Structure 1
């Protein structure tokens, strides 16, 4: 909770807040309750003797009224301040009548002070600037110095540090011109305060240390005490508590010597903060109470509110939330009484933090939302960033990651704008936490590594420890245990150095987690128990729940079921009490796992279903499609466990329909993001969205295209360094992330998107009614760590089978795929593969036999004369089933499944149902065929050299992706001409040579065609799937390099209601495999764009063979009127029967995804 360290700014106290952090779950996520300026700075009062002139009466009256205003000011209440305004305004008019410019300046200065104190910074600036103008008019250099100092104070409070420094430096120059050492010391101190707030601690110390000897030289012990206090504040913030205590202890006796009770109260308050941070709460309370007594003696209600705030923080840390709230409410009432809006905002923020820690998220939001407008009203941008960050923390804790990202990003922008590096570091850290939770570990590391150097620059050891801990956690999750321990062991001494026992408990827990995963269970228990002791000591219920859960996990592995269950059952209610939904799902799953092992299947099922219900609810709140996918992928273990449990129940109770429930559960985690994207595709989600967001989306699209073009131009020049190339690669990735965030905001604010019903996965009955027909058999595979499963579903029945575990199946699939890419390999030949393949030593017959036994023999009797619709999982998604042997055939008698069955693929049964529903309402495009082929890729393409009459410099295109040379695909022209000849010219559209470009591919005219054929190269980007795509002409007709990449993110923006899209390109069927989503490739992009079926390739396809296959394929569709699925089978059979192309390399790579009707 916030402790407010006070810095001095002459002549009144200048207050600043203190950054704290909160550790959540295994990752300590920093949320800061306050940072930067947290209270007002006041204008100095200038006591100037009034001039006597002929207007004696007016002058006398003005002086009397002015003094009455001064007395009202001393009362220090909002009411007395407003009464003082009336007095000063009357006095001002009288001074204006007498022509006394100096007194007018003084009175304007006092009015500026009052409005500043009341939080009206803009009005304060108006009066101060009027005062400054008058002091310049009469060449009152001393008055100018004072007023500039006051204006600097206002800009400082508004977060405009640059203007504040400018004013202070002008004031300092004038004081030096006058030789006024006292004001020099004051202004140097104030400049130090600005640098302190900016996080530039060494620069702050430099100015404080210039101020200090001047004060000593002048014998100004009051100012010396102020500066010593402020130096102490710097060391306090740097985590050097002993050095801070030394300076505070030097300041305190000086304040006592000069009888400065205000100064004493400030320093006693700050000493209390030191003991508070060191964990000595009793000593801290003693100092806070001494400060409070002095505050009350001198009637400093603002200071009293500050100390009440800090006492509340003590009770909060001790777990006495009611006492904390009592003291915060006393502080709030005092701030309201004196009209201190900044103080009100600080305390409302802190009350919100208490309710947040009590898991009363709605009440927390209520107080944060009261604090936020006050922050904005007084222009406290640093404080505004703080509260925005904390609101983000509430949504983060609620599992609403999208909302959390929104608020964190607002906070980050403000912190960066005002130069608040502490706030910036904190929010960057929190953003890292979001991405880590959602499974995007590389993005998490990026944000943590942006936060860490900022923490170090400003000397924030507490924050540095937090971020080091979090980096360690990411490496732990990535499986790099030694790197994880390295970061944890850097974090731990910092935790102890600054007395952060809550953080120490977090890091001890995390070290325990590493040893746990390494199998060193006793070492893990040692660290977990140390963590648990500390968490309970500081009453950190979230940390306690996490560690109890982890201890339960150790005892589960050790086989001590009773102990494990006891720990889980302690953790679960704490997580529920804290409304930690993500943590609750984890513990529910752990209990489910334990109960299954004990044979309590029904109890296990109840627990895992409760966990899945939480996950389903949390994922729907994420509107960024990529993040939603990442989050869901991180939860797949729980769904796979539910599958296994249901199938074990089916084995025990075969007549109770558990196999159907397992199938429905399998559908729950199949291509869910694609399912939702397809539902959204026909809703105009941009309707009703703020124009600025749509403009930002369009702008980012243009910037992405421009960056792609710059990248190509750089590579084409041949004169660049790897570093320059990497800069553009990074820029492209960064722009893509921004683009995805803007799209998430569009969804988040779209009335149309809000109105969409989240599509629900189909049940067995719905699959049979909506997806299957009498001729079709669905084969849905689910791979698991212990066992895998296959469901064979027909129009009227379901059968299920237990298969070997994932690792066994995927090993053989990889070996088969290796064989398929050998051009001379034929299914009937037994070839031996040695260890150089990286897949072990094996023979082709052995591989085929194993695959058959695993995948097809269990359903051999059911697949006869059936169309097979495959829903794959893991490596099975890039296995061409058509190339597998028919059950019952082996050795030289092997016959491919292609011969007996039509085979196609769908992401999930539920996805196909949505595709059908959406496509049903569409009109058939009026024209038949559009072809894009034979694009210009290469620098030495004769079509280029013929136009330019000379070779152009060789572009270093392979640097974009070293796996592709982008050579001319000469047979694609024959391929295009051959299939175009099958259709009347009036019903076709072609783009060849330079015309086969990105502009053509994204034009609206393509929406008029039933079939769109791309005969070109494909590219695969496993790091950023959205950058995968097809390659079109890289040069225009004048030989100029152009952006020829049609990326996945571009495809999502197309409107292509075609009945069939053919990607006659290299590896267009592959992309990054993501758990639960399958292969996130081009097919899903074109399905989103509007096509119900997409023909893709699984590997680099022979150009000539492809041309032959495509001609046959289109002849079957256009002349014999076969469905695309049947036509593909017939075309592949023709190649298989041709001795030149009988090897599966030539025909097995093409697969149809989507609709078969």
Structure 2
């Protein structure tokens, strides 16, 4: 029997023998030769935890620890009892040497994830403590304390480790062994830091560093520099942490200590990440990963990958972050590190919250909370419960969310955590505001504001002030609302943190508008729009999905309405620009978390610069509202402002080579004249826009431009869309039960009547200014589900009068018209059993692509809508990151679908993604009730188009042919 198991088994056998047999059994059982003096004095390669370095030459000093003098020892050696005791001590010395050797071979490090090696080492240490206690030998008891402290520290049991460290250090100092005591302080520092005693840890560390410098002990200096850097990082003094970790790396490199250098690279990666130096941080993580793989250290390899996953989260690469968290969790499961498994759950929950995936966030948050409860880590448990509350709010389960927030708040307040107490006051206030409990919301928001003010946490205080302003407006207290708006502006100027300045301007605009000061309101909205466009402003506090202040799209909507109200038709061009930006902004906000995966054909250097700046800004935005960065310094705020300006300049430069890619970064629009120049003579664009309680329309042809306000009330369209949904479901039931032809004909008449009502509301008011044979409809909001080509004027369908097609926006229409056709390419047919990679190999260039696959539309999170292949979902971000160069991409549903609820952002987002990825046109079934008409339509359409007809001509011919056999519009 060898190794760790031998040491443990031996210790158990010793305890079962009589006292006089212990020495004999010990001598016979030790199978490993004792180390030489040089071996015993060699420190372990990892510079984090101090270990034993005693040998037999220290017997005089160890005798002093036992209370013996050299003279007493001489006298004892003359007596048989003294000889027997010396033999026992020598045997115990050999056994402790073997135990230390086994523990040392485990290559443990402070703060590492718990592992099988750390658990085995702790078992050995406990046996050593039992032996030392039974032997009543103080010297070996000190050794056992050192071993226990070391093993507990590496097994994530820092609270238990602290008293062992204290006892060991005090005993060694009493014995005059300052050097050994200094080495043990290495691990003591870590245990103190991880138990919230960072200031004492620094005192301990600096005292040890002084001794090591006096002794010119480079190895110990490297270790103490590592630990000092780690403590300073926990105190958020990142510059000083970087200096110490760099010093440690230099020392390890000089000594040729590969393991210590790998650990230093891991620490440098962490601190560089905290300083937003992401490329350097990622390089350090890669270096230490290679070293840990080479050294065969899976626990530290897992820790390096875990840290890199969080780096991806900070820099906005959320998909990569999730994938790496999943991979690294399996490593921690193998090692049995419950703390790191729970941390993976906690971090994934936070990522899912950012991605607006509340179901997944709740699952991970609950798992994390349960684990942290068992581990007695109340802070992390509170965060997990808070994340669950955020996800519940996103699902609009407000009662459950309030309960979760109260539970988390109780945990944090028991720990005296004022920041999280304030944050949860704010979360609860937002939920109460949403459900109309305004006075309660006001009280909690006031409490949050007071706490954030005391903490000097400006970013979160700005949120509470904006919320107080909105609540005051709902309560009819406009003077108070104006007071809070001014407070936001003053605080922004004072702290140089313009994170919510656009929300302040929007609030001021609403107040002015409510008081009838329309010109002033328009000015405030324009300032808000300028903040959005020039500052690349994000909704930094929108975890709950609650827009208690006007969102960015709403600001553009208000600008369109007020511009026309004040300046009439003379300002129609400007109003059109605001409408285009409102539509664009919705996609920008939805796609923002997925931008790193979007493909562009622009300069690689420019794209790298954009990714770097965006990652740094994303990290700054996330941290600006955290407890660790509560008081954002003026220099840091200025740095953020400079980065935002740099991003705007870089995107402007990038737009020259890839304007469509830039349009995904911030709200963009096309000018009227630019669109008119791109339009053919026979084409008119009719673009609808919902502005507050009205639907307006812009009619644009090659030579004319009209703006029609108050086309119809928004409520009227809501009613008609509800009737359309009813008609669809009724028709589907008729078809399913094969009712009589008479009933089907009656249903057709009812549908035609409904289509006449749509025509009267949306086409008749503007029909006189449509003078071309082709019409491109640009729909908005609820209109995305409305089939304009099926409108009926009482005599015929709109598709009989015009060639009808659709576009997501005027900007996207121009983008598609500028593209040349794809030539010399074969068609691509994609069935539901197709694999993603096989499809992507052919989608780079195809005459047309016909896809018969399941289409998954996500109203709760439109950006995750997509098509389903045999090996998994292919969502909107995936489409943006690949090439789909084809003249026509057809999406044919394979399952019946008659649901048209929602604003259509899910399907529209999918179509827009395929257009961006290279498709010149996209043909999609808006719903499917029967398979036969769909199959007949596509067969006839392809036949006509491939024979040389235009897409519009082929479309009309196919529609007429299908209608002859299937007269119902659905």
**Distance (Å, rounded) in 2 between the aligned partners of 1:685 and 1:139:** 68
The partner residue of 2:523 within 603, 612, 621 is 603
**Distance (Å, rounded) in 2 between the aligned partners of 1:1002 and 1:199:** 48
| Stretch moving more, 361-370 or 637-646 | 361-370
- Alpha-carbon distance, 1:913 to partner: 3.0
**Distance (Å, rounded) in 2 between the aligned partners of 1:610 and 1:304:** 51
**Distance (Å, rounded) in 1 between the aligned partners of 2:857 and 2:243:** 59
Secondary structure (helix, strand or coil) at the match of 2:768 reads: coil
Contact 2:470 2:481 in 1 (8 A): yes
**Distance (Å, rounded) in 2 between the aligned partners of 1:226 and 1:671:** 57
- Alpha-carbon distance, 1:1115 to partner: 6.0
**Distance (Å, rounded) in 1 between the aligned partners of 2:824 and 2:99:** 79
Contact 2:891 2:923 in 1 (8 A): yes
- Alpha-carbon distance, 1:861 to partner: 0.9
CA offsets 1:364-385 (integer angstroms, 9 cap, x no match): 9989999998999899998998
Q: CA RMSD in A?
A: 6.4
Superposition pairs of residues 385-784 of structure 1, within 5 angstroms: 420-426=337-343, 428-571=345-488, 583=500, 586-587=503-504, 589-594=506-511, 596-597=513-514, 598-599=517-518, 600-613=520-533, 637-654=551-568, 655-656=570-571, 657-666=573-582, 668-669=584-585, 758-760=661-663, 761-765=668-672, 767-769=674-676, 771-784=678-691
Contact 1:473 1:484 in 2 (8 A): yes
Superposition pairs of residues 263-412 of structure 1, within 5 angstroms: none
Q: 1:858 to 1:432 in 2, by over 3 A?
A: farther
Q: 1:155 to 1:512 in 2, by over 3 A?
A: closer
- Alpha-carbon distance, 1:531 to partner: 1.9
Q: 1:150 to 1:755 in 2, by over 3 A?
A: farther
Q: 1:844 to 1:1115 in 2, by over 3 A?
A: closer
Contact 2:602 2:658 in 1 (8 A): no
In structure 2, the residue matched to 1:163 is 117
In structure 2, the residue matched to 1:1096 is 924
CA offsets 1:17-69 (integer angstroms, 9 cap, x no match): xxxxxxxxxxxxxxxxxxxxxxxxxxxxxxxxxxxxxxxxxxxxxxxxxxxxx
In structure 1, the residue matched to 2:968 is 1143
> Number of residues paired by the alignment?
812
**Distance (Å, rounded) in 2 between the aligned partners of 1:270 and 1:139:** 28
CA offsets 1:358-416 (integer angstroms, 9 cap, x no match): xxx55899899999989998999989988988888788678776797799789878866
For the pair 1:1133 / 2:956, whether they are aligned, the reply is no
The partner residue of 1:858 within 761, 765, 769 is 765
Q: 1:479 to 1:585 in 2, by over 3 A?
A: farther
**Distance (Å, rounded) in 2 between the aligned partners of 1:461 and 1:784:** 48
**Distance (Å, rounded) in 1 between the aligned partners of 2:824 and 2:224:** 76
- Alpha-carbon distance, 1:169 to partner: 4.3
In structure 2, the residue matched to 1:900 is 801
Contact 1:772 1:795 in 2 (8 A): yes
Q: Normalising by structure 1, what TM-score?
A: 0.56
- Alpha-carbon distance, 1:455 to partner: 1.6
**Distance (Å, rounded) in 2 between the aligned partners of 1:291 and 1:681:** 52
Contact 1:382 1:418 in 2 (8 A): yes
- Alpha-carbon distance, 1:1004 to partner: 7.2
- Alpha-carbon distance, 1:915 to partner: 3.1
- Alpha-carbon distance, 1:110 to partner: 0.8
Q: 1:670 to 1:1109 in 2, by over 3 A?
A: same
In structure 1, the residue matched to 2:621 is none
Contact 1:674 1:911 in 2 (8 A): no
- Alpha-carbon distance, 1:1062 to partner: 4.7
Q: 1:372 to 1:662 in 2, by over 3 A?
A: same
In structure 2, the residue matched to 1:747 is none
**Distance (Å, rounded) in 1 between the aligned partners of 2:494 and 2:344:** 26
CA offsets 1:1107-1141 (integer angstroms, 9 cap, x no match): 6555654565456x4322223223433554x4x63
Q: 1:578 to 1:392 in 2, by over 3 A?
A: farther
Q: 1:1115 to 1:423 in 2, by over 3 A?
A: closer
- Alpha-carbon distance, 1:164 to partner: 3.7
For the pair 1:919 / 2:839, whether they are aligned, the reply is no
For the pair 1:885 / 2:792, whether they are aligned, the reply is yes
Q: 1:308 to 1:1106 in 2, by over 3 A?
A: closer
For the pair 1:145 / 2:99, whether they are aligned, the reply is yes
**Distance (Å, rounded) in 2 between the aligned partners of 1:1076 and 1:819:** 18
Q: Normalising by structure 2, what TM-score?
A: 0.65
In structure 1, the residue matched to 2:810 is 909
Q: 1:682 to 1:437 in 2, by over 3 A?
A: closer
- Alpha-carbon distance, 1:1018 to partner: 5.1
- Alpha-carbon distance, 1:870 to partner: 1.4
Q: 1:535 to 1:832 in 2, by over 3 A?
A: same
- Alpha-carbon distance, 1:525 to partner: 2.0
For the pair 1:867 / 2:695, whether they are aligned, the reply is no
The partner residue of 1:1124 within 938, 941, 951 is 951
Contact 1:1028 1:1081 in 2 (8 A): no
- Alpha-carbon distance, 1:256 to partner: 11
CA offsets 1:896-919 (integer angstroms, 9 cap, x no match): 212212211122333333334443
- Alpha-carbon distance, 1:487 to partner: 0.1
- Alpha-carbon distance, 1:1104 to partner: 4.4
Contact 1:784 1:805 in 2 (8 A): no
List alignment gaps of at least 5 residues for structure 2.
1-31, 55-89, 215-220, 253-259, 609-653, 736-740
| Stretch moving more, 577-586 or 303-312 | 303-312
For the pair 1:111 / 2:42, whether they are aligned, the reply is yes
**Distance (Å, rounded) in 1 between the aligned partners of 2:939 and 2:232:** 79
**Distance (Å, rounded) in 2 between the aligned partners of 1:347 and 1:1056:** 43
Secondary structure (helix, strand or coil) at the match of 1:792 reads: strand
Contact 2:559 2:575 in 1 (8 A): no
Q: 1:460 to 1:786 in 2, by over 3 A?
A: farther
Secondary structure (helix, strand or coil) at the match of 1:780 reads: strand
In structure 2, the residue matched to 1:802 is 710
Contact 1:572 1:587 in 2 (8 A): yes
- Alpha-carbon distance, 1:785 to partner: 4.9
Superposition pairs of residues 1015-1054 of structure 1, within 5 angstroms: 1020=856, 1022=858, 1029=867
The partner residue of 1:226 within 163, 183, 189 is 163
**Distance (Å, rounded) in 2 between the aligned partners of 1:351 and 1:1057:** 43
Q: 1:362 to 1:1098 in 2, by over 3 A?
A: closer
CA offsets 1:178-217 (integer angstroms, 9 cap, x no match): 975765885587467646655579xx96xx8xxxxxxxxx
The partner residue of 1:814 within 722, 740, 744 is 722
- Alpha-carbon distance, 1:868 to partner: 1.6
Contact 1:1069 1:1083 in 2 (8 A): no
Contact 1:152 1:164 in 2 (8 A): yes
Secondary structure (helix, strand or coil) at the match of 1:1059 reads: strand
Superposition pairs of residues 1073-1092 of structure 1, within 5 angstroms: 1077-1079=905-907, 1087=915, 1091-1092=919-920
